[in-house]
A and B are shown apart, each in its own frame.
Chain A
Amino acid sequence: MTRFALPVALLILLEISVDARFIPTPSVVATGAYELIRSGELWRHLALTLSRTLAGFAIASLVGIAAGLSLGYYRAARLYCMPTIEVFRAIPGVALLPLAVLWFGLGSSSQIPVIAFAATFPVLLNAMRGAEELPSILVRAGQVMELDSMSLFRHVLVPASVPFIFTGLRLSIVYALTSGVGAEIIAGTDGLGFLILDYQRTLVPEKMFATMILVAILGLGLSTVLRAAEGRLLSYRHPS
């Protein structure tokens, strides 16, 4: 109970002492959230942000896992590709948004590539480490049992790398959401990022704060889903 004493005290202090146009007081956020939910304008934007994030994330995980595992397994491929990948990795996804807008136009068609770009590298690098650190005894056991390379990939390499891949995916989803919301803030006409900026520009702080909290909840929710999926997939490792 004592753990909540300080936050509650702080919330009360916030409520009575600050200017609600600048700092979110609990009552202002609550009215904003109520307004947003009641008017229903929120759902369209939430659905857009979520679908863009998930689409970019899906592309990123497919590319990242496939490329990462191959790079980790084949030393030669690492030698040729890594320096180039390091340079691309150093470019923040949102820095490519103007280019994406130029090539693909405004909206999802430019935002999804940016999200996918930003989210690819964490999962790629982690999948690569997983494949790199694969115990060679497993590979040799597989070879002794005359597994062809396809089943070696599927039955040895992939399962052994799953914990690493999930570490990467958890990072990736954060990058995906951050880049998505960032792209919507920079050049969006819809989505939660656009909504936050729009409410700021039109001086509706209660809805702005409520939307910001929604993005936070969305991020926590996505991470939780991934964690649950990881727990379920890896449950065989900790038989109860």
Chain B
Amino acid sequence: MKRLLLPIGLAILWEILARSPLGDPLYSPSLLQIGTALVALVTSGELVTHLGASAVRLLGGFTIALVTAVPIGLVLGSSSPMKRHLMPMLDLMRSFPSITLVPIAIVWFGIGDLAKGFLVAYACFWPMLLNTMTGVEETSPVLLRAARVMEVGDLALFRKILLPSALPSILTGVRISLAVSVIVLIVSEMVAATSGIGFLILDAERNYLTGKMFAGVLIMGVIGASLNALAQWTERYLLDYRAAA
């Protein structure tokens, strides 16, 4: 109950201001207007289109980053000569804020899903890679020596020792990369796109459909919160054995 007090209070305050002479339906739509716009978005199927487009880009890019960054991170983290050779270059490439790649992604991949997927993958890749490497580096040397004594093969070493001990750090990387990739996705959808939540919000603003724009922002918040919750749940689920041990 206490958790709801502040949101309800804010909603009432908003409604009063929106309906007072201070408010203007063009700039501060009432909750009714926002709600109506939200319902219209759902019933017209527009929401599904845009949500689907954003989800495909986000999931596609995220998956590409995950399946490339984690193996590379495991190998790089466990091999110091490779790290020595590659690190200066990786440091250089990751210091490019992925947001500055939005314009060049259009040149490289056009204004479709490919460009957005690339941007998301790029934004996700670096936090995942670096956190995987950190996780591997922090593997207890006792475990590694024990594995060597038991003559564990290379592949088994990665799967049974390095990956599990790097997992908490990898999941931290996943959470960071989710936050960054959503920002990059929104920007690229606002710059050049014909679908996606970012496009929906900007398009509504340009047409002065303020209620629709607020509905879009609200949906964005729900997406962000669900991604957060999903990441937290995964973390708890995968790391459960640690609490039990």
Contact = CB atoms under 8 A, between A and B. Distances in A.
Interface of A: 2-7, 10, 21-22, 79-84, 86-99, 101-103, 118, 174, 177-179, 181-182, 185-187, 193, 196-197, 199-201, 205, 208-209, 211-213, 215-216, 219-220
A182 B189 CA distance: 11
21 contacts: A3-B88, A22-B108, A80-B2, A82-B3, A83-B4, A83-B7, A90-B221, A90-B228, A92-B183, A94-B186, A95-B220, A98-B190, A98-B206, A103-B27, A178-B99, A185-B99, A185-B102, A186-B187, A186-B190, A199-B103, A213-B96
Contact of A94 (B27, B108, B183, B213): B183
Contacts of B95: 216, 219-220
A7 B182 contact: no
B92 interface: yes
Contact of B7 (A84, A98, A209): A84
A220 B191 CA distance: 25
A7 B86 CA distance: 8
A95 B223 CA distance: 12
B191 A186 contact: yes
Contacts of B205: 98-99, 101-102
Nearest to B216: A95
List 3 A-B pairs, minimum CB-CB distance, nearest first. A90-B224, A98-B205, A200-B103
Contacts of B89: 6-7, 10
A102 B216 CA distance: 15
A95 to B, nearest CB: 5
A193 B191 CA distance: 12
A212 B107 CA distance: 15
A81 B198 CA distance: 28
Interface string B60-88: 00000000000000000000000011111
A5 B108 CA distance: 28
A178 B97 contact: yes
A3 B4 CA distance: 56
B122 interface: no
Contacts of B142: none
What band does the interface of chain B fall in when counting residues whose beta carbon is under 8 Å from A?
A: 35 or more
Given A84-B7, A182-B99, A95 B104 contact: no
Contacts, number: 153
A83 B7 CA distance: 9
Interface string B222-233: 111101100000
A212 B96 contact: yes
B23 to A, nearest CB: 12
Contact of A3 (B84, B220, B222): B84
A98 B97 contact: no
Contact of A84 (B6, B106, B179, B202): B6
Nearest to A183: B187
A185 B99 CA distance: 9
Contact of A4 (B88, B101, B102): B88
Q: Which of A4, A90, A193, A200 has the most CB of B within 10 A?
A: A90
Contacts of A90: 220-225, 227-228
B150 interface: no
A10 B183 CA distance: 30
Interface in B169-208: 179-180, 182-184, 186-187, 190-191, 197-198, 201-202, 204-206
Interface string B24-35: 000100000000
B224 A197 contact: no
Contacts of B180: 178
Nearest to A220: B95
Nearest to B198: A95
B5 interface: yes
